[in-house]
């Protein structure tokens, strides 16, 4: 716990949730529905999110448009800071 990423541009579900100001389960659900792309790593299948994919999700580009299958409102635009 409390580990920081080693600068590889991958974020944990918890980090993405904090950036988007949503619950971590919401991030997981968006991944399960294909709204936000994640990579599974390790034997437990932990999710890691590419920082560029999260930025694309925020800007509304690519697959992660911010709208779920039921037409909910998109996530407000946020700025990622290093």
Which residues are within 8 A (CB) of 50 and not within 5 positions of it... i.e. 6 or more apart? Answer: 9, 10, 11, 37, 39
Q: Which of 5, 79, 32 is nearest to 14 (CA)?
A: 5
Residue 76 confidence (pLDDT) above 70: no
Residue 66: CB atoms within 10 Å? 19
Question: Which tens digits make up the pLDDT trace of 12-52?
Answer: 999 999 999 999 999 999 999 999 999 999 999 999 999 99
Structure tokens at 76: 């407000």
* pLDDT recorded at residue 71: 44
| Residue 73, CA atoms < 13 Å, CB-side half-sphere | 3
* pLDDT recorded at residue 80: 56
Assign domain 10-59 to a CATH class.
mainly alpha
pLDDT averaged over every residue in the chain: 79
Instruction: Write down the domain spans for the chain.
Output: 10-59
Residue 3 confidence (pLDDT) above 80: no
DSSP-derived letter for residue 74 is P
Residue 69 confidence (pLDDT) above 70: no
């Amino acid at each position: 716990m409390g580990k920081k990423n080693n600068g590889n541009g991958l974020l944990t579900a918890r980090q993405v949730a904090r950036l988007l100001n949503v619950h971590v389960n919401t991030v997981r659900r968006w991944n399960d529905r294909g709204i936000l792309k994640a990579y599974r790593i390790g034997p437990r299948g932990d999710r890691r999110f590419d920082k560029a994919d999260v930025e694309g999700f925020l800007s509304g580009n690519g697959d992660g448009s911010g709208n779920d299958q039921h037409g909910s409102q998109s996530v407000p635009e946020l700025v990622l800071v290093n």
